Amino acid sequence: MVGTPIGNQYDFSPRARDILDTVSVIACEDTRTSGSFLRNMSIRTPLTSYHQHNEHGKTPELINRIQAGESVALISDAGMPAISDPGFLLARAAHQAGIPVVPIPGPVAAVTALAASGLPSDRFVFEGFLPQKKGRQTRIKLLVEEERTIILYESPHRIVKLMKELLEHTDENRLCAVGRELTKMYEEIRRGSLRELYDEFSTRSKQKGEFVFLLAGKSYSEEDVN
């Protein structure tokens, strides 16, 4: 399970590079996206596709290849595999088959945003993407009751909608943060009340880039902090 950068290519670790250079095959979500990244890193290992639409069928095939003596590295388009990306099925199947799973850590957008957010990081929950339609409102109602910092992934065209939905269900003064385009040229880390961030982002003509949204726990108040 090999982490790759979430933007800045200098976050690619020497260890990740060595592993990807030496395994028999690299399983990746998109052979074109990863192919171009790996070529830039001078890695010419063969690729095979492993994505959300073929992972069920492809998992036993990769396990068979490992059992036949090959070594397989799994990467995703960005960040750590298995984090809002394919990977869980393969790691589980490897464990079940007695195959060692070796983590080669790299950046994760959620934790990167949390560390920079200045929101409580001692206890947090990662929710990934909320369902787009069915179950979304139910999930939001549950989440606003959460006492730990909540980390969400959201697409640029739904980020303002997410803030609006949260405003309908929780206190507008609740502290939150947005990490946008982390590690990239237009990186932005915004922090403020839910109302302030909603007002700020909703007046932008277009939302661009990749977003992590963080909401402080229900009872967290900055006045409690020395």
CA distance 22 to 121: 36
Q: Is 15 left (phi over 0), alpha (psi -120 to 50) or beta?
A: alpha
Burial status of residue 186 (CB atoms within 10 A of its CB: 0-12, 13-18, 19 or more): exposed
Enter the tokens of residue 134.
């069915």
26 binds ligand SAM (CB under 6 A): no
**For ligand SAM, which is the closer residue by CB, 153 or 198?**
153
29 binds ligand SAM (CB under 6 A): no
Closest CA to 218 of 146, 115, 159, 163: 146
Q: Is 133 left (phi over 0), alpha (psi -120 to 50) or beta?
A: alpha
**For ligand SAM, which is the closer residue by CB, 76 or 149?**
76
CB of 88 to ligand SAM, least distance (A): 12
Give me the 133-172 binding string for ligand SAM, x by CB under 6 A, dash otherwise: --------------------xxx-----------------
Bridge partners for 117 per DSSP: none
Q: Is 34 in contact with 47 (CB distance < 8 Å)?
A: yes
84 binds ligand SAM (CB under 6 A): yes
Enter the tokens of residue 90.
């393969």
12 binds ligand SAM (CB under 6 A): no
CB of 8 to ligand SAM, least distance (A): 8
Give me the 178-217 binding string for ligand SAM, x by CB under 6 A, dash otherwise: -xxxxxx-------------------------xxx-----
11 binds ligand SAM (CB under 6 A): no
Enter the tokens of residue 221.
């108040």
76 binds ligand SAM (CB under 6 A): yes
Chain contacts with ligand SAM (rule: CB under 6 A): 6-7, 76, 78-80, 83-85, 108-110, 153-155, 179-184, 210-212
